[in-house]
Amino acid sequence: MTQLVKLTLSKLQASGKWFSLLLVVVAIFLGCFTTACTPSPANSQASIEQRTFLNLSLDFLGEYQLPKIQFQDTQVGGLSGLTYDQQRDVFYAISDDRSSLAPARFYTLKLKLNPQDTGKIALEKVEVADVTFLRDENGATYAQGTIDPEGIALSAKGTVYISSEGVTRKGIAPFIKEFDVATGQQQQSLRIPQRYLPNESSDTEQEPLPRGIQDNLGFESLTLEPISLAAGGGDPFRLFTATESALFQDSLADESKQSARIRLLHYLVQEIAPTIVVSEHLYPLEPAPPRTISNGLTDLVTLDLGGHFLSLERTYGKFGFIAKIYQLALGGATDTSTIVSLNGDISRINPVKKKLLLDLSTLGIYLDNLEGITLGPLLPDGTQSLLLVSDDNFRDTQVTQFLLFRLNGLS
């Protein structure tokens, strides 16, 4: 191209005709070739982001605080996860009560919006409609201190999957189990990879290196792919969960300024064959600000079949509560299931891609211990709703808070 331009210029220069005009035209052409035809780094980055993430935004529609109430001899509280039942138009909320105040359970909730003639969508009330106690394979409710339920997700089979963090300090393993939504009876238990379980006692003199979920930092999140709710049974379907923070073997030194390295698990659940772990990915938790007491990933919700999710991160410290919603993209993330430890060099690992969707501190309202997030029903205007819930820890100084949003851009 350059040689052709030079040859043309030399011939025209010899003829002495229109040379000045051609110089202007060539300069414009070359300027276009070196700028418009070559994307700037900023434009290139924007293009990559557009291809990676969905074009989403959130509109805050309102808050509702559930009063401290008793329901069927249980204290309603500790709501740590949410899932929506489209057929019944109700939500199921798991309580993280470790069978201390009542047997481990989840509640059925009904959402009420304001009257339609107001012209503005707002959250008017949340009502408790039912309570379901979880029952083990023998049909018994869980004994006190043997379970720490945190995540819940509805399947198309009329069942809910529930995750328990376990109780590491007591040697109680975490689990992900399926329960009948009407009776609470256990149906099946998913296999938990060994790397998430504590080391067993050793007969050797040398103590094994710590391994597995840290106490109270286990499977806080749980979500199923959307197709499972629309496939008349949805078999097979995909289930996703993640630890709240790093496993023992992935933990960094206390003085490290790097973010915690969380593992996100991807299961394939099927009836005619055993449930399998398809893959595992590195989820980089946002670094905790100064004066933080706890910081973690509290829930996930799938958006589509293309590997897009929303995540909810919650931080607590001297400053109160902070909560942020991120959009995630799993495409291109490295499978970490064969990596023994993530506390070393991870420069060759492609993590889950994250993009901040909303920092809830910008809402200008009090935030409590937000731990659950789920897609809800379509709103009266036809847009998609999103609902968050907080865990009040059964404390008088905290509240059970519901936040309603419109999720724009999800088709």
Q: Is 71 within a domain? A: yes
Residue 343 sits in the same domain as residue 197: yes
Q: Is 73 within a domain? A: yes
Domains in the chain: how many in total? 2
Q: Average of pLDDT values for 137-141? A: 97
Calpha distance 328→115 (Å, rounded): 35
Q: Is 50 within a domain? A: no
Residue 69 sits in the same domain as residue 159: yes
Residue 23 sits in the same domain as residue 128: no
Q: Is 303 within a domain? A: yes
Q: What is the DSSP string of 155-221?
A: -TTSEEEEEE--BGGGTBPPEEEEEETTT-BEEEEPPPPGGGSPPPP-SSSSPPPP-SPPTT-SEEE
pTM: 0.86
Residue 30 sits in the same domain as residue 122: no
Residue 17 sits in the same domain as residue 80: no
Residue 15 sits in the same domain as residue 96: no
**pLDDT score recorded for residue 260:** 93
Residue 9 sits in the same domain as residue 149: no
Residue 96 sits in the same domain as residue 15: no
Burial class (CB in 10 A: 0-12, 13-18, 19+), 25: exposed
* 212-265 tens-digit pLDDT: 999 999 999 999 998 544 445 557 899 999 999 999 999 998 878 888 999 999
**pLDDT score recorded for residue 41:** 53
Check residue 46 and report its DSSP letter: H
Q: Average of pLDDT values for 35-63? A: 72
**pLDDT score recorded for residue 368:** 98
* 81-103 tens-digit pLDDT: 999 999 999 999 999 999 999 99
Domain that holds residue 276: 56-408
Calpha distance 312→325 (Å, rounded): 5
And the tokens for 90? 């109700």
Q: How many CB atoms lie within 10 A of CB 391?
A: 26
Residue 362 sits in the same domain as residue 403: yes
**pLDDT score recorded for residue 32:** 36
Q: Is 41 within a domain? A: no
Residue 14 sits in the same domain as residue 113: no
Q: Which one of 13-22, 66-75, 108-117 scores highest in mean pLDDT?
A: 66-75
Q: Is 120 within a domain? A: yes
Q: Is 104 within a domain? A: yes
CATH number at residue 385: 2.115.10
Q: Are 345 and 372 in contact (CB under 8 A)?
A: no
Residue 87 sits in the same domain as residue 9: no
Q: Is 43 within a domain? A: no
The letter for the amino acid at 6 is K
Residue 25 sits in the same domain as residue 88: no
